[in-house]
């Protein structure tokens, strides 16, 4: 029994001694690996700060800027860990970790296919700068002001104050209209005047009224066209340029133009007729007397 205990104790001491010798032998490598990891951590923090500072010029959404800068920082740390393991001659462990990470990454990407699609779409929207917070947009049947763009969704506040959450993938896959991309847009109003009106005068005073209300810039023209002989009026459309970067402003512009045209026509005695309907009433009394 004592011999067995002494044998076990000797084996334990030999094992501990071999471990100590291994640690002493690899101590320089351990110190180098530790220095590599500390240096990688320091570089990652500085890279994160520099990346975030640069991305402020490219990406306006803070959440997306934070994600991109964090990804760069994590990549630096991972690279430091790989180098540290290589210094410690743990290539086999490193290969196993990389293989496991590859399999896990494939499984995660398949499980989160829709989420990843929305994430990459959000990054693309942020980098392309085709839609920003505060823009008035129309997309997927909704119209409103963009209030938030994150990695998965874009939030739009409609005119009735409702918030619509649209997945970024749907915005990228379908056309959308952004009123903030252009500074000048054209607005069209339609109207009709009586058949007795002087059509050339109507055209002249209409163009002058809109020209005074919304002066055109260089190269812009106010367009006036008679379009149809209506049942009770000769119809026309008037098209002009305005500084309107969102749908609500365009509605206000159109309302102001309609009121101005009405006031101008009243001033010049131009009639905007009501729809006219002729009713023919037959006299059936005579037919009744003849039958009797």
pLDDT digits (tens, 9 = 90+) for 11-54: 665 665 665 556 555 667 777 878 888 888 888 888 777 877 77
More confident residue, 120 or 226: 226
The CATH number covering residue 67 comes to: 1.10.287
Q: Is residue 275 part of a domain?
A: no
Q: Is residue 211 part of a domain?
A: yes
Q: What is the pLDDT of residue 105?
A: 56
Same domain, 143 and 192: no
Confidence of residue 4 (pLDDT cuts 50, 70, 90): low
Contacts 24+ apart (CB under 8 A), 248-251: 248/136, 248/159, 250/179, 250/185, 250/187
Q: What is the pLDDT of residue 256?
A: 92
> What is the average per-residue pLDDT within 55-78?
72
Q: Is residue 190 part of a domain?
A: yes
Q: Which of 145, 177, 163 is nearest to 248 (CA)?
A: 145
Dihedral in degrees, nearest 10, Cα atoms 146, 50, 97, 86: 170
Q: Is residue 286 part of a domain?
A: no
Q: Is residue 123 part of a domain?
A: no
The CATH number covering residue 214 comes to: 3.30.70.100
Q: Is residue 122 part of a domain?
A: no
Q: Is residue 119 part of a domain?
A: no
Residue 92 class from Cβ within 10 Å (0-12 exposed, 13-18 middle, 19+ buried)? exposed
The rounded mean pLDDT for the chain is: 77
On whether the CB atoms of residues 273 and 194 are closer than 8 A, the answer is: yes
Q: What is the pLDDT of residue 8?
A: 63
Q: Is residue 292 part of a domain?
A: no
Confidence of residue 111 (pLDDT cuts 50, 70, 90): very low
Same domain, 145 and 164: yes
Q: How far from 165 is each of 60, 145, 169, CA to CA, in Å?
A: 19, 12, 12
Same domain, 97 and 60: yes
Same domain, 31 and 107: yes
Same domain, 43 and 88: yes
In terms of residue numbers, what domain contains 46?
Answer: 23-111
Same domain, 103 and 44: yes
Total domains present in the chain: 3
Q: How far apart are CA 50 and CA 193, in angstroms?
A: 65
Question: What pTM does this model have?
Answer: 0.53
The CATH number covering residue 139 comes to: 2.30.30.60
191 pLDDT above the threshold of 80 = yes
Give the pLDDT confidence of 120-170 residue by residue, as tens digits: 676 777 667 778 888 888 888 888 888 888 777 889 998 888 999 988 888
Return the percentage of the chain with pLDDT > 70, whole number: 66
């Amino acid at each position: 029994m004592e011999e067995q205990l002494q044998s076990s104790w000797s084996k334990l001491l030999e094992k501990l001694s071999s471990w100590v010798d291994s640690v002493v032998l690899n101590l320089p490598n351990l110190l180098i690996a530790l220095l590599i990891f500390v240096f990688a951590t320091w570089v990652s923090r500085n890279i994160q700060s520099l990346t975030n500072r640069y991305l402020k010029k490219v990406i306006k959404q803070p959440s997306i800027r934070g994600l991109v800068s964090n990804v760069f920082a994590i990549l630096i740390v991972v690279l430091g860990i790989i180098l540290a393991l290589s210094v410690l001659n743990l290539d086999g462990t490193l290969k196993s970790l990389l293989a496991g990470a590859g399999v896990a990454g494939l499984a995660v990407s398949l499980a989160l296919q829709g989420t990843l699609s929305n994430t990459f779409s959000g990054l693309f929207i942020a980098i392309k700068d085709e839609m920003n917070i505060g823009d008035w947009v129309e997309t997927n049947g909704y119209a409103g002001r963009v209030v938030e763009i994150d990695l998965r969704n874009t939030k739009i506040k409609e005119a009735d104050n409702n918030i619509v959450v649209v997945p970024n993938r749907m915005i990228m896959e379908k056309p959308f209209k952004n009123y903030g991309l252009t500074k000048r847009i054209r607005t069209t109003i339609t109207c009709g005047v009586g058949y007795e009106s002087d059509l050339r005068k109507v055209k002249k005073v209409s163009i002058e009224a809109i020209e005074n209300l919304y002066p055109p810039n260089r190269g812009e023209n106010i367009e006036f066209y008679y379009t149809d002989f209506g049942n009770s009026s000769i119809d026309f459309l008037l098209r002009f340029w305005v500084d309107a970067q969102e749908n609500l402003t365009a509605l206000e512009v159109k309302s102001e133009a309609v009121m101005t045209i009405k006031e101008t026509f009243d001033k010049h005695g131009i009639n905007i007729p009501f729809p006219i309907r002729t009713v023919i009433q037959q006299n059936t009394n005579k037919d009744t007397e003849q039958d009797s």
